[in-house]
């Protein structure tokens, strides 16, 4: 049996900022268990820090995974002497509502067999030997069962996480019935000659909504097939919530959508193409979000595609709002809901931007919109029709879409003195101007010997970089090799280079802080001594972004010497603390929905190449030299920047080679391992809540790695 025992713990209906659940006298300590619970209204984002309390008062945080609806789960081994669970709200303004906590004791054999099912590449012989406890190379199968418990195929994900049974539907209907003033949601549908079957399915996906307070506003854009207005009229006769208008001449999607908008009386308007489908909880999720937060203006969700047989595929699990990424691509796309008053104030969609009319709207809408006015719902609420012949407007405007997208960004860029250019795959690239006068940039390079690496870095800075105003401070930490002194002597006449001796034990944070204190420049660039410059414009790109008033740290695209990706930004929670996004993929590969080809906001960037304004670095206190001498000091700095209101940015347009940790070596001694564990503990204690909820990494994606897998 997979389940050896099950207990439902008495916490139903608990609300508040802190809650303790007793586990008994500690006899469960050491047991493998699965905990499941719900946090009502959480929308898949954890709102409470979950930890285990042992008899001696020590606490251990648990890294939960989102499940169906508002559910969460954790599978693992309880610490010895575990006596209680503690749920602590992550925000005083958003208390959690805990419900249905269940504890199931798991058999070790069942976990091992589950790992075998999740890893079909394992042979039966390998599974047999691992069941006997004889581990092959790497981790044991049981450990892999836990590490990879959230990676799966999309069909399996749908079956496990995206099915709503009768109980869930009844719960949602009961919740809606308790709302005193459910907000009216208007669905805007422009129609022009779609296949009758897909139009019927689109309309029925609205009529089948669990949430009842909606209206469907259909604008028929002079369809030539007489069966289309008949189908629309039939649905309108059957449901009074359907409102229609017919245009006498074809005006394309922008004008048709605006005519549908004229019919709308809802607080929010949702866009629905005439051949796509809404999930049956889509409008409920929108209504719940806007009821919870009156500040919201824009709400969007995850999405997938659907073919002619109804098969769902290619899910897009998005980040929370990322204005930088939105410049490059319309990642918001579907489902998209906008406060109707704001939509009308903008004039709706603009004719002339067909093919990218939604992107143009979102760029104009978010240009001055505060971040707290945008909400991402991390659930698949929209199914985008991908069947051939579906008649989508975007298919017909494909040739014009790229130009319209670029023109939309060019308008926004022009108002801030920037410009728009075509990027990879036809996406946009925003190019910012450098401030006038051009700021002095101080590149800080901590080093200890390894002259052959440092020589390459210095040569790239002085001869391979086109930035006009820079100085380099090499912070020398007890270099003793003759080759290093020869290198310093060779550059003795270089006025842009200073060597700052800092003897003592290696402490990357302290060395970097010392270099920053000696710098004269308005912009600091912390650079490892094993960085190799590839392109002359890399520093201009970093500095142009770092000089934005609301930007904290800026990171580059770092490649290994073999051309594979080393750094594509940092994802929180990977490996327990943080890990690099898309680590090891081909350097020119697009990544998840082209993420590795587009400038974007990230939670953190690596200190191997990090640009930041000097005043901002000083404001947040620099690197933590006391508690984080070597590991995670960059992540800690970036999280303090975010806490101070700054956003961190990663750009693929500053490419460098990183010979990672060549001068420091691997963490392969007892002393280094002890130091790493101590610094990991500091990060967990200091940033536990943040490490569990990276706003730029969807909670439906696995934290076993940063590869955006389910």
* pLDDT of residue 389 exceeding 70: no
Q: How many residues does the chain have?
A: 710
Q: In angstroms, what CA-CA distances link 459 with 491, 609, 619?
A: 10, 16, 32
- The share of the chain scoring above pLDDT 70, in percent, equals 85
Alpha-carbon torsion, ordered 278, 279, 284, 289, to 10 deg: -80
Half-sphere exposure of residue 127: CA atoms within 13 angstroms, side-chain side:
17
Query: How confident is the model over 568-587, as pLDDT tens digits?
Result: 999 999 888 999 999 999 99
Query: How confident is the model over 231-263, as pLDDT tens digits?
Result: 999 999 999 999 999 999 998 999 999 999 999
* pLDDT of residue 134 exceeding 60: no
* pLDDT of residue 377 exceeding 80: yes
Is there a contact between 344 and 263 (Cβ–Cβ < 8 Å)?
A: no
pLDDT band (50, 70, 90) for residue 16: low
In a 10 Å sphere around its CB, with 0-12 CB exposed, 13-18 middle and 19+ buried, how is residue 598 labelled?
Answer: buried
Query: How high is the pLDDT of residue 5?
Result: 58
Query: How confident is the model over 162-220, as pLDDT tens digits?
Result: 888 888 899 999 999 999 999 999 999 999 999 999 999 999 999 999 999 999 999 99
Is there a contact between 312 and 383 (Cβ–Cβ < 8 Å)?
A: yes
How big is the CA angle at 588 (ends 582 and 592), to the nearest 5 degrees?
40
Query: How high is the pLDDT of residue 151?
Result: 57
Q: How many CB atoms lie within 10 A of CB 486?
A: 11
User: What is the per-residue DSSP string for 214-230?
Assistant: EEEEEEE---S-THHHH
- All structural domains of the chain, each given as residue ranges with its CATH number in brackets, are 3-158 (2.60.120.260), 167-390 (3.90.550.10), 441-691 (3.90.550.10)
Angstrom distance (rounded) from CA 644 to CA 616: 10
The stretch 636-662 carries a mean pLDDT of 93
Q: How far is CA 416 from the centre of its chain?
A: 26
* pLDDT of residue 565 exceeding 70: yes
Q: In angstroms, what CA-CA distances link 556 with 107, 192, 386, 602, 633?
A: 46, 45, 35, 12, 17
User: What is the per-residue DSSP string for 377-409?
Assistant: EEEEEEEEE--TT---HHHHTHHHHHHHHHHHH
Q: How many CB atoms lie within 10 A of CB 556?
A: 29
Angstrom distance (rounded) from CA 253 to CA 600: 29
Angstrom distance (rounded) from CA 71 to CA 693: 15
In a 10 Å sphere around its CB, with 0-12 CB exposed, 13-18 middle and 19+ buried, how is residue 290 labelled?
Answer: buried
- CA proximity to 165, closest of 115, 219, 210: 210
Angstrom distance (rounded) from CA 228 to CA 218: 12
Q: Which residue has the higher pLDDT, 88 or 432?
A: 432
Q: In angstroms, what CA-CA distances link 284 with 153, 208, 426, 603, 623?
A: 27, 12, 35, 30, 45
Query: How high is the pLDDT of residue 6?
Result: 60
| φ and ψ at residue 294, rounded to 5 degrees | -70, -10
Query: How high is the pLDDT of residue 45?
Result: 65
Angstrom distance (rounded) from CA 329 to CA 325: 6
Q: In angstroms, what CA-CA distances link 176 with 165, 324, 667?
A: 17, 36, 54
Is there a contact between 86 and 42 (Cβ–Cβ < 8 Å)?
A: no
Q: What is the mean pLDDT of the chain?
A: 86
**pTM (two decimals):** 0.81
Angstrom distance (rounded) from CA 538 to CA 556: 8
Is there a contact between 576 and 582 (Cβ–Cβ < 8 Å)?
A: no
Pairing outcome for strands 214-220 and 242-246: parallel
pLDDT band (50, 70, 90) for residue 687: very high
The pair of three-digit structure tokens given for residue 495, joined into one six-digit string: 């006025």
Angstrom distance (rounded) from CA 6 to CA 495: 72
Helices 252-263 and 357-366: crossing angle in degrees, nearest 10, is 60
Q: For 30-39, 247-256, 421-430, which range has the lowest pLDDT when averaged over its residues?
A: 30-39
Is there a contact between 678 and 671 (Cβ–Cβ < 8 Å)?
A: no
Query: How confident is the model over 582-632, as pLDDT tens digits?
Result: 999 999 999 999 999 999 999 999 999 999 999 999 999 999 999 999 999
Is there a contact between 515 and 446 (Cβ–Cβ < 8 Å)?
A: yes
- CA proximity to 439, closest of 279, 288, 178, 615: 615
């Amino acid at each position: 049996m997979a389940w050896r025992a099950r207990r439902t713990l008495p916490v139903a209906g608990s609300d508040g900022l802190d809650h303790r659940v007793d586990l008994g006298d500690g006899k469960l300590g050491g047991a493998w268990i699965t905990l499941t619970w719900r946090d009502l209204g959480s929308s898949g984002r954890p709102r409470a820090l979950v930890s285990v309390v042992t008899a001696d008062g020590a606490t251990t945080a648990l890294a939960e995974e989102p499940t169906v609806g508002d559910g969460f789960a954790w599978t693992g081994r309880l610490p010895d002497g575990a006596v209680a669970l503690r749920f602590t709200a992550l925000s005083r303004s958003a208390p959690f509502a805990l419900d249905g906590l269940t504890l199931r004791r798991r058999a070790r054999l069942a976990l091992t067999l589950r790992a075998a099912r999740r890893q079909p590449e394992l042979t039966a012989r390998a599974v047999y030997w691992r069941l006997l406890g004889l581990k092959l190379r790497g981790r044991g199968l049981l450990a892999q069962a836990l590490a990879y418990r959230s990676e799966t195929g999309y069909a399996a994900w749908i079956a496990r996480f995206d099915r709503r049974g009768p109980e869930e539907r009844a719960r949602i209907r009961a919740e809606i019935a308790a709302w005193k003033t459910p907000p009216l949601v208007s669905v805007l549908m422009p129609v022009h000659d779609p296949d009758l079957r897909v139009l019927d399915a689109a309309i029925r996906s609205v009529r089948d909504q669990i949430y009842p307070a909606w209206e469907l506003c259909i604008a028929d854009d002079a369809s030539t097939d007489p069966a289309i207005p008949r189908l629309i009229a039939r649905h309108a006769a059957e449901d009074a919530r359907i409102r229609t208008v017919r245009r006498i001449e074809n005006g394309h999607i922008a004008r048709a959508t605006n005519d549908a908008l004229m019919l709308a009386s809802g607080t929010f308007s949702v866009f629905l193409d005439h051949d796509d489908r809404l999930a049956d909880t889509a409008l409920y999720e929108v209504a719940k979000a806007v009821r919870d937060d009156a500040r919201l203006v824009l709400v969007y969700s995850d999405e997938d595609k659907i073919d002619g047989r109804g098969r769902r595929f290619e899910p897009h699990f998005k980040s929370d709002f990322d204005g930088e990424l939105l410049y490059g691509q319309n990642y918001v796309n579907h489902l998209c809901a906008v406060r109707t008053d704001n939509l009308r104030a903008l004039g709706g969609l603009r004719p002339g931007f067909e093919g990218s009319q939604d992107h143009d709207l979102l760029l104009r809408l978010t240009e001055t919109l505060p971040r707290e006015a945008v909400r991402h719902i991390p659930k698949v609420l929209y199914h985008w029709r991908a069947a051939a012949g579906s008649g989508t407007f975007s298919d017909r405007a494909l040739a014009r879409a790229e130009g319209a997208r670029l023109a939309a960004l060019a308008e926004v860029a022009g108002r801030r003195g920037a410009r728009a250019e075509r990027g990879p795959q036809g996406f946009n690239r925003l190019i910012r101007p450098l401030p006038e006068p051009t700021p002095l940039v101080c590149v800080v390079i901590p080093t200890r010997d390894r002259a052959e690496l440092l020589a390459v870095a210095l040569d790239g800075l002085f001869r391979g970089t086109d930035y006009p105003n820079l100085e380099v401070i090499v912070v020398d930490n007890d270099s003793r090799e003759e080759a290093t002194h020869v290198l310093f002597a060779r550059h003795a006449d270089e006025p842009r280079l200073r060597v700052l001796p800092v003897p003592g034990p290696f402490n990357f944070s302290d060395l970097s802080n010392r270099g920053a204190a000696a710098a004269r420049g308005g912009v600091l660039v912390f650079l490892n001594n094993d960085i190799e410059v590839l392109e002359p414009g890399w520093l201009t790109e970093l500095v142009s972004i770092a000089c934005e008033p609301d930007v904290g740290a800026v990171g580059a695209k770092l490649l290994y010497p073999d051309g594979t990706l080393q750094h594509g930004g940092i994802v929180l929670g990977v490996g327990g603390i943080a890990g690099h996004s898309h680590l090891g993929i081909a350097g020119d590969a697009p990544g998840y929905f082209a993420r590795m080809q587009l400038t974007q906001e990230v939670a953190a960037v690596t200190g191997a190449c990090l640009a930041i304004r000097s005043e901002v670095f000083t404001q947040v206190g620099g690197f933590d030299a006391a508690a984080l001498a070597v590991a995670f000091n960059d992540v800690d700095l970036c999280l303090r920047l975010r806490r101070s209101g700054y956003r961190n940015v990663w750009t693929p347009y500053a490419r460098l080679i990183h010979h990672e940790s060549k001068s420091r070596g691997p963490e392969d001694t007892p002393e280094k391992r002890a130091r790493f564990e101590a610094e990991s503990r500091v990060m967990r204690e200091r940033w536990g809540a943040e490490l569990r909820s990276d706003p730029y990494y969807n909670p439906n994606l696995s934290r076993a790695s940063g590869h955006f897998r389910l």
